[in-house]
Amino acid sequence: MKRFKILWALFVVVFFSGLVFASGAGDQALQKLMDGNKRYVAGNLMKKDLGETKRKELTKGQKPFAIVITCSDSRVPPELLFDQGLGDIFVIRVAGNVVDPIALGSIEYGAEHLNAPLLFILGHSKCGAVTATLEAKGKPEGNIGEIVKKIMPAAEKAKKKGGTEDEILETAIKENVKNVYNDVMRKSKIIPELLHEGKLKIVAGEYDITTGKVGMIELPKATPAKKAH
Ligand SMILES: [Zn+2]
């Protein structure tokens, strides 16, 4: 009986260490980011090498472990809120964290050429771009109008759902992140391929500019791109 117990314990240890080992690079990358966010929230930042040796080492090449698309908002710097150092994350920042062909190309470069195993789409609380879209009147114009147009479907959905002003803004922020995911999946050829091959994990979240915490947002099942005829 005792021998059986020992064998069982051994089996459990081997089995679970196997599971941990098998949890892919994308999962590990996500863990690294979330651990970093915990340190940031706790004010217990990792000591980073920002010196000459590190820079020299990185001249040989970069191998970021994650791609982050987020808002240009000065209160949302991903390297700081995820507590990461030089060469760690490949970042695309655009007001409202929306994607156009150039942003998509940057994401594709990070995933396909730099082999980053994780894409994190990060929105944030009190986003000015989303607020401006909710308040927009008339036809969106100019370059800012292009951003507004991208966020508009999320704003309309949030208004339909209703609630207080803050609730509508919160809904719009989350819906916008989901729309960005759908945009990535529909307008990129390579990203869905990498996802299906298990080479890339895609997650989404919202950064709370008050608490500093990153919360996860569940992503919808992306609709595959319509084939052009
Ligand atoms: Zn913003």
**pLDDT tens digits for range 2-61:** 565 665 665 555 444 444 443 599 999 999 999 999 999 999 999 999 999 999 999 999
Determine the pLDDT at residue 220. Answer: 79
Determine the pLDDT at residue 226. Answer: 52
73 CA distance to ligand 1 middle (Å): 5
Cβ contacts of residue 168 below 8 Å, gap of 6+? 134, 158, 159, 161, 162
29 CA distance to ligand 1 middle (Å): 24
Q: Exposure of 174 by Cβ count < 10 A (0-12 exposed, 13-18 middle, 19+ buried)?
A: buried
Extract the tokens encoding 41. 């929230």
Reported as a pLDDT band with limits 50, 70 and 90, residue 135 is very high
151 CA distance to ligand 1 middle (Å): 11
Distance CA 215, CA 87 (A): 24
138 CA distance to ligand 1 middle (Å): 21
Residue 130 has pLDDT above 80, yes or no: yes
pLDDT digits (tens, 9 = 90+) for 65-86: 999 999 999 999 999 999 999 9
Extract the tokens encoding 157. 């959905």
Residue 120 has pLDDT above 80, yes or no: yes
Q: Which residues of 35-57 are buried (b: 16+ CB within 10 A; e: fewer)?
A: ebbeebeeeeeeeeeeeeeeeee
181 CA distance to ligand 1 middle (Å): 16
Reported as a pLDDT band with limits 50, 70 and 90, residue 138 is confident
- The model scores a pTM over 0.75: yes
Counts of helices then strands in the chain (DSSP H, E): 9, 5
178 CA distance to ligand 1 middle (Å): 15
Which residues crowd ion ligand 1, with CB under 5 Å? Answer: 71, 73, 127, 129
Determine the pLDDT at residue 225. Answer: 54
